[in-house]
Amino acid sequence: MAGPAFYFDLGSPEAYLTAERVLQVMPVATPWVPVLERDLGPAAGTVDRDDFAARAAGAGLQPVRWPDAFPFDSEQAMLAATYARSIGRVVPFSLAAFRQAFAGGRALSSDDVIVIAGSGCEMHPKALLTGTRTRGTRAALTRETALAAERGVTQVPAVWVPGAGDGGGQVFDGADGLERAAAACEVLAS
């Protein structure tokens, strides 16, 4: 049986907060899966910037700096994350990209910012940008987004836990989704 999956979009501030904690909170290895949130369902509501900044500070993260263009189109960044996943670098690339966006204040719709995030995890700029432009990378992002929707993911961040809920899997999303997913994994393991 497949293990849990952490679904995220680099344009989501909530996914950033969860990404900074997922490795410490989840009791089992949890693959990071890039998806396009816009293709999962209706757009999430607006972000309360003051509340978000307070929660980020409470989590010990760098002070929040919002990109001038927010929300930004995250498709190019999600293609880069999908390419990074294909070469085993999705976690370091995604953390670097989230930090560029929400601690550095840089929209991830720019190739330059994506390359900066990639350089933080030793991804060659030309390989990274070429990887975002292949049919295979685009197909993988489309396939993973469709699978997430099939599993019931309607927003990010979300953690899908197989065998939880009705036995076919359960989606845990929102601010406390990570802790509930970790608890479900603990129950399944016992």
Range of the domain at 21: 5-40+48-189
Is the pLDDT score of 150 beyond 60? yes
**What pLDDT, in 10s, does the model give residues 102-125?**
999 999 999 999 999 999 999 999
Residues 81, 59: Cα–Cα separation, whole Å: 24
Q: Classify 161 as helix, strand or coil.
A: strand
CATH number of 34's domain: 3.40.30.10
189, 28 in Cβ contact below 8 A? yes
Q: Please count the structural domains in the chain.
A: 1
Residues 157, 24: Cα–Cα separation, whole Å: 16
Residue 55 CB burial class (10 angstroms; 0-12, 13-18, ≥19): middle
- CA 83: distance to chain centroid? 14
Interval 48-57 mean pLDDT:
96
Is the pLDDT score of 1 beyond 50? no
Residue 190 binned pLDDT confidence (cut-offs 50, 70, 90):
confident
